[in-house]
Structure 1
């Protein structure tokens, strides 16, 4: 468990720390002014892949979700806690119950990716170094009261100065959630999205596309650069199968070779990514591994509605990640935490994470870690079950998980051209294989594995605009890219899209209407209809447990249409490309600001607004110019 501030002060009195660098989006604009004028809009007309802009909410979508009751855990506080690699007995518990003595049993990794409980240490002295990353504890108070529990923690990683690479500059934190699409993230984790993007300056990969069914098909490419089908047999019940690390070197091992402290954990041990269908790890995969904790909890304790004792289960998980960030202070880290408890079976409860996610990011910022830490805020795929999943939109959302990346300011400053390439790539087709390539570049390595069915790219290199699902190694039924078909500019949905677009432009400049002209539609020059991939609509589910064989028997009927129009407004003759989605039942038009591009130069037309509101430059035509 993470420690309280007062307890930290008590035991670390006199410890000096460097003043942290706290980052804000405004700081990035000031410090990296060369990026401030880069307009990376949604240039759908120049990319071979266009993902649909499906609505966040409508009446049908609202009907698919149920309210989720927040956890109400026991009021009895934990008697023990951990901090900076040490074991402590809470002073509050001692004040309440008298002198406390505790017996401590380390919980460690065992062969076959299992857990093992070691011999008891009795008594475990207050302030003792932790012996493992999880432990069982039984405490007795002077008044006869007892306390027993299982705790997750971080035992200090042994120093390996002969391995440590002093040239290492950047940390990596990947923090993920199971089954959360881009839209679900924005629906239920709006504060997390807002803080990550608008306060810190993180960017969402708007064309990120999955390459297979389920979590392993998402994480194998990210962590190894390979598909599950490209490695020898690792599945349970198959002849000659071996454990996953006997065939593969995971990306964290590559970082570890350069002296990084590595940390990996997921909270649902019963459906572990590499243990549910597969044989798991032969050797402890990372320096700090939370699986033994969850295995012992499953054997000994019944989780009660998102609670483990007095702690909410996500609080335990986030606190474990926090401890990992500071226990081995001064060492570079590669940390990956993947949380499934609130979203694996349904998305109804994922919103319970929202405020604590923000607090986690704020905590990192307060420590000054973000100046040189890549933060990947992500999911593996969208929801694979439920009523929404049976619709066209649900199928598309499954293929478009949330994936955001915060590039630290030190990297931006040292590699400005790479950062510009990254900004441009946020609007191009990106796959999990590209994330692996990006990790390799951060670690200053080259990927020598060159499959023939795909080409992958680091996000700091140029991804071709003409990239397709086929060239990226995405099978047709997983491809969320829309097909293009010319349509009449006089079609009702096209006209409604143009009118709704102009209304949006005028709403955006409304506060400055005394300076900017109201815009009118001049004419529509081109229109195309964007249709869902036929194979996506036919895909029902995977026939096999491994997600390798597709059942293409579904008869999903489209309930939405997607349009892209090119239109001109007056005054100022502004040319815009706009992508919309249309509800075919109600006729309602949905347009996101991210799917609007100004495609001709505005020169000095918006000069009256440039300093006050530069983001309105594409829409404002100053009255003084006419």
Structure 2
């Protein structure tokens, strides 16, 4: 292969590693019900005539130091006494750790509520009057969320707050508001989402959780594939069956009017109690900016709880997100268990989305492993598994950070995790549908298929004969996981843009390759044009960027075109980009958007359009 040397360009060459599946899953069962089953002659995540996705996965750090961070020592515990009451326990010995001058203290409790201030209902909170309480006393739940304050006082009755903690419980709705729909055909749904978790990342960093799935015969879908870049369009495809173009036209600045499109509203109209919760609100959470709910979208809504305040603690390579004296993620999962247990004799649909342990490479998902294992065990003991679908899923893999410099990350980013518990009762009553879902573990699937699956569960639960008519309109060739997926299915069939499609093998090139560098320079020229056209605040401009380092070059091809996948950095700022370029003869064309593959550092805060900040290095004009 002809090579040229570009002395002004520093290049690095990171080889791609193809890892056998048995190094990811240390399990050799040939039982088709287990997600480790594979064709021994081929080593692909998906191996069908329509789609072949090779096993090329990042090796995540397994020897990271244990997380020494904690949210502090809890001195006050609140537990559910019955569906309507809770009991408080105050550990006086632990409380002494927080007292500053005397040994005298008292505690009170108050409830956290949404703000009633017009225009601030979704951003502010209010508190009820604080009621003094003693150790061992019970009190009635007024709202889902409780704040306990403890005061130290002296002989002059001067008081100071020395302890504050919060607790979340599902306050059971009045029986007249909830139809008792427990029967032999009704199925509940509990969806547990975890941000930025590919199948490989879950398997490597959360082995205890994956072990629980394997031991209990959960389904694991190796071909679950994202359809868009980031969280919102991927989860909205699963929640509504609609693509981002449709959602942006219908729901921007009016998300409350779009709530009926979301699958939980369909279940609510059928008598189900609904819940939605998401932690780590300091991040750009799922329903944000133009897509923020001003009113609670579900019966139980945890945003109010986390608005009380979250704090992030960092130490070395570890971090923990705390809401008072417990991790935000634990609060979220504890509420999910309580929600399922509280409505176990009714019908429920809940979605709980966790950002705090996995949003990027600084959030170590291995620190959540035991917590999730305990969570799924707790669900088992509630007795809901007989008639409840539990779906553990993600939106995409890691999109930025050090791991994205590796070639394997091309696949990792595009293939989020999807595991599903199929309830015992369903396996007995709908055996053929269950068999189809088992076979689909090795097929190309998308969030649109997940949406259709939720529609199917609702239809079966409510004896709706023609429920398939309610399947996704934006993906006509998609079906539910209970329908056998065609082996000829392609990305184009199921709404996956060529930019995101991973149904091909990448072939590595030397970073000095002449033709590969032409593709890099083509993308660089495109980025420079974007920089020149970016509008900024007064007295600021975007600095001209130039190529700094070529990180990797790969190519793939089909019957029509040759494609280059390139990653490189530009300076100043050291911003890393990834792009796909189509080559047909001498003609080059960018495939989809250019991706920024590193965390935003604040360099582009001067831009007027928030989407322009990723390629802008803001520079202040002289004498301005």
Into which bin does the TM-score normalised by the smaller protein fall? Answer: 0.5 to 0.7
Q: CA deviation at 1:87?
A: 3.3
Please list, as runs of the form range in 1=range in 2, the aligned pairs for 1:438-587 lying within 5 A after superposition.
438-444=453-459, 445-448=467-470, 451=473, 454-482=476-504, 537-538=565-566, 540=577, 550-552=592-594
Identify the residue that residue 10 of structure 1 maps to in structure 2. Answer: none
| Maintained 8 Å contact 2:180/2:345 | no
| Maintained 8 Å contact 1:104/1:123 | no
1:190 counterpart = 2:207: yes
1:120 counterpart = 2:129: yes
Identify the residue that residue 227 of structure 1 maps to in structure 2. Answer: 243
| Maintained 8 Å contact 2:76/2:91 | no
Give the match's secondary structure for 2:391: strand
Counterpart Cα distance in 1 of 2:328 and 2:382:
24
Counterpart Cα distance in 2 of 1:151 and 1:216:
28
Q: What is the aligned counterpart of 1:357 among 354, 368, 372? A: 372
Instruction: Evaluate the alpha carbon distance shift between residue 94 and residue 55 of structure 1 in structure 2; reply closer, same or farther with a 3 A threshold.
Output: closer
Please, which runs of 5 or more residues in structure 2 have no aligned partner?
Answer: 1-28, 96-102, 460-466, 508-554, 568-576, 581-589, 598-624
Counterpart Cα distance in 2 of 1:162 and 1:173:
18
Give the match's secondary structure for 1:464: coil
Q: CA deviation at 1:51?
A: 1.7
Deviations 1:520-542 (A, max 9, x none): xxxxxxxxxx9588668258469
| Maintained 8 Å contact 1:129/1:155 | no
Instruction: Evaluate the alpha carbon distance shift between residue 292 and residue 170 of structure 1 in structure 2; reply closer, same or farther with a 3 A threshold.
Output: same
Please list, as runs of the form range in 1=range in 2, the aligned pairs for 1:387-466 lying within 5 A after superposition.
387-444=402-459, 445-448=467-470, 451=473, 454-466=476-488
Deviations 1:338-397 (A, max 9, x none): 111121121651100111111111111123222222111111100011122133211210
| Maintained 8 Å contact 1:214/1:381 | yes
Instruction: Evaluate the alpha carbon distance shift between residue 453 and residue 89 of structure 1 in structure 2; reply closer, same or farther with a 3 A threshold.
Output: closer
1:136 counterpart = 2:147: yes
Instruction: Evaluate the alpha carbon distance shift between residue 472 and residue 535 of structure 1 in structure 2; reply closer, same or farther with a 3 A threshold.
Output: farther
TM-score normalised by length of structure 1: 0.66
1:281 counterpart = 2:293: yes
Q: CA deviation at 1:454?
A: 4.3
Give the match's secondary structure for 2:225: coil
Give the match's secondary structure for 1:50: strand
Give the match's secondary structure for 1:191: helix
Identify the residue that residue 264 of structure 2 maps to in structure 1. Answer: 252
Deviations 1:453-509 (A, max 9, x none): 642111111211101000111000111111699xxxxxxxxxxxxxxxxxxxxxxxx
| Maintained 8 Å contact 2:108/2:148 | yes
Identify the residue that residue 52 of structure 2 maps to in structure 1. Answer: 50
| Maintained 8 Å contact 1:40/1:424 | no
Counterpart Cα distance in 1 of 2:104 and 2:345:
38
Counterpart Cα distance in 2 of 1:426 and 1:67:
34
Counterpart Cα distance in 1 of 2:365 and 2:564:
26
Counterpart Cα distance in 1 of 2:386 and 2:504:
38
| Maintained 8 Å contact 1:267/1:338 | yes
Instruction: Evaluate the alpha carbon distance shift between residue 333 and residue 164 of structure 1 in structure 2; reply closer, same or farther with a 3 A threshold.
Output: same
| Maintained 8 Å contact 2:182/2:345 | no
Counterpart Cα distance in 1 of 2:34 and 2:335:
40
| Maintained 8 Å contact 1:51/1:480 | yes
Q: CA deviation at 1:140?
A: 4.4
Deviations 1:265-290 (A, max 9, x none): 11121335443332411321111111
Counterpart Cα distance in 1 of 2:488 and 2:360:
36
Identify the residue that residue 516 of structure 2 maps to in structure 1. Answer: none
Counterpart Cα distance in 2 of 1:146 and 1:334:
39
Identify the residue that residue 177 of structure 1 maps to in structure 2. Answer: 194
Counterpart Cα distance in 2 of 1:80 and 1:37:
39
| Maintained 8 Å contact 2:437/2:483 | yes
Deviations 1:31-66 (A, max 9, x none): xxx988999644865441122112453xxx659x95
Q: CA deviation at 1:554?
A: 9.5
Instruction: Evaluate the alpha carbon distance shift between residue 47 and residue 406 of structure 1 in structure 2; reply closer, same or farther with a 3 A threshold.
Output: farther
Q: CA deviation at 1:131?
A: 1.5
Q: What is the aligned counterpart of 2:335 among 311, 316, 320? A: 320
| Maintained 8 Å contact 1:220/1:226 | yes
Give the match's secondary structure for 1:114: coil
Counterpart Cα distance in 1 of 2:405 and 2:284:
26
Instruction: Evaluate the alpha carbon distance shift between residue 259 and residue 91 of structure 1 in structure 2; reply closer, same or farther with a 3 A threshold.
Output: same
Identify the residue that residue 71 of structure 1 maps to in structure 2. Answer: 69
Counterpart Cα distance in 1 of 2:313 and 2:339:
24
